Each structure stands twice: as structure tokens, then as C-alpha cells.
Amino acid sequence: MKAIHIPRLTHAPERTETLEFKEPIKGLETLTPVQGTITITHQGNYLEVSAQAEAIVTLTCHRCLQQFNYRLSVSPSEMIWLNDAADPTEELPLDHDLTLDDLMESLPPNGYFNPEKWLYEQLCLEIPQRQLCSQSCQGIEVENKNAHITDRRWASLNALKGHLPS
């Protein structure tokens, strides 16, 4: 997906552009290409972006370490403010107190909107933090074959333990 020049959206019918896609997203490993649609509407001082996308990803269960397939499906919607002072390459300093304006997504009005990057971020946010192959997953079975073996360094204490009154 190519980046969209924001001023070009003002000349589109109804100031809207809809992209249909079925392609891999760079940086996101999926079994199937990511497919769906993205709609970008120029609303004057902000962009209204919404999407419908899905793909299948391979995850590793956090309990049993088995790999399993997971259907990743998103329907995000977001407003991205158009701000002359917005610089997408500017990073906030770590020791800076954040204001409410710092927490809003913004782009310069004469800049570009990258739908692939936006979609990548939305899909990554949808990947579950707790990855389980099933709710009834028991985890890794551990056999305790060495339960009867004692550490030889503790042998003297075990011998003394038998001679002490309880």
C-alpha cells in the first residue's frame, strides 16, 4: 500500500478514498495475506480512518509452548488530527510531562498518511497478550523422576534427623 498524500483527499469524491487489499504487511508474520478494506475520509481538520481486516497468525501457547493458528480480525476506527505543528518523526523526550495534545495522533495537513503502517499498528494491538491454545490447556507435563534422589551434601543432616527426638 502506498502512502496517501493528504491534500489529494480533498479532491476525491466525497473527500473519501477506499482501499481494498490482500497482501502481506511488512513486519507482521502471517500465514495468509492480510485482506480487507481501509476507508480514509478528509473531514477538514482531521482524517477519519476506519478499516476491516483479517489474517491468520501463528502464536505460541504460553502454557504448553505448542504453536497454534489464531484468526486476527480487526475493525478499528480512529480520528487523526491535521496539525501544522505535527512532525511524525519527532520523538518526545523521556523526561517530558505529557499533555493531552501529546496523546493524540496527528499529521501535517500537507503530509502523507501511511495506511500500511497504521494497519500494522492496529493488527499488533489486536494480538492477545495472553496466548493460550485453548482455555483447558494444562501446560507442560513434568514428571518428577528424581524425587527420591537427595543431594549428597545434605546426607549428614538427613542422618542426624533420624537420631533426634521428634
Residue 148 lies in a domain: no
Amino acid letter, residue 131? Q
More confident of the two residues 49 and 83: 49
**Average pLDDT, whole number, for the chain?**
87
Whether residue 98 lies inside any domain: the answer is yes
Structural domain contains residue 93: yes
Q: Does residue 62 lie within any of the structural domains?
A: yes
pLDDT at 12 over 60: yes
What are the pLDDT digits (tens) for 66-84?
A: 999 999 999 999 999 998 7
- Model pTM? 0.74
Which 3 state secondary structure label does DSSP give 68? strand
Tell me if 134 is assigned to some domain: yes
Residue ranges making up the domain that contains 38: 4-139
Helix (H) or strand (E) run with residue 91 in it: none
For 101-154, how does the pLDDT look when each residue is reduced to its tens digit (9 = 90+)? 555 788 999 999 999 999 999 999 999 999 999 999 988 887 766 556 667 888
Average pLDDT of span 14-41: 95
Q: Answer yes or no: is 151 within a domain.
A: no
Mean pLDDT of all residues in 46-64: 95
pLDDT at residue 91 greater than cutoff 80: no
Residue 165 lies in a domain: no
Q: Which of 47, 117, 114 is nearest to 83 (CA)?
A: 47
Residue 155 lies in a domain: no
Which residues on adjacent β-strands are paired with residue 40?
A: 17, 49
Q: How confident is the model at residue 93 (pLDDT cuts 50, 70, 90)?
A: low
Q: What is the pLDDT of residue 165?
A: 78
* Total structural domains within the chain: 1
